[in-house]
Amino acid sequence: MITTDPTTNVGMVRLLITDVSDADPLFTDDEILAFLALEGGVKRAAAAALETISRSELLVSKKITTQDLSTDGPAVAAELRAQAKALRDQARQDVDDVVGGAEAWAISVVDFDPHAAYRVWW
């Protein structure tokens, strides 16, 4: 059983890469969680998943023509890579929209205790 609930991060990644078949999923939930951990966002994780599928397509399908049937693994792989690039561009734009086009930064305000170094805390 895989997570296909689109309100979860795993479900959102599955939705973006159309991996929603319980019968024959492309990735396990753990693999999608790994993409999320590695990439730090749903769209970037989906892009990484598409790139992984693309590499598999290149390795397995190749370009084959026999009689009246043909497959073009390299073309499919190229389209998957284009989709991955589009998702990465969208993720980058999402970040730019949030921070107004500037580089992300943050500041924390903490209480200052000038005697903290001289106190014993145990």
Residue 1 domain-assigned (yes or no): no
Residue 111 domain-assigned (yes or no): yes
Q: What is the mean pLDDT of residues 83-110?
A: 72
Whats the size of the chain, residue-wise?
A: 122
Total domain count, the chain: 1
Residue 2 domain-assigned (yes or no): no
| Domain boundaries, position 50 | 9-118
DSSP string covering 58-108: HHHT-EEEETTEEEEHHHHHHHHHHHHHHHHHHHHHHHHHHHTTSPP----
Pick from 22-26, 72-76, 79-83: least confident: 72-76
Contact yes or no for 56/76 (Cβ under 8 A) = no
Residue 51 domain-assigned (yes or no): yes
Residue 78 domain-assigned (yes or no): yes
87 pLDDT band, cuts 50/70/90, is: confident
Residue 16 domain-assigned (yes or no): yes
Residue 3 domain-assigned (yes or no): no
Q: What is the mean pLDDT of residues 73-91?
A: 84
Q: What is the mean pLDDT of residues 43-51?
A: 92
Q: Per-residue pLDDT for 83 more than 90?
A: no
Q: Per-residue pLDDT for 44 more than 60?
A: yes
Cα–Cα distance measured from residue 14 to residue 3, given in angstroms and rounded to the nearest whole number:
8
Adjacent-strand bridge partners of 65: 70
Residue 89 domain-assigned (yes or no): yes
Q: Per-residue pLDDT for 99 more than 70?
A: no
Residues 6+ apart with CB under 8 A from 91: 41, 43, 44, 47
pTM above 0.75, yes or no: no
32 pLDDT band, cuts 50/70/90, is: very high
Q: Is 13 helix (H, G, I), strand (E, B) or coil?
A: helix
Cα–Cα distance measured from residue 71 to residue 89, given in angstroms and rounded to the nearest whole number:
29
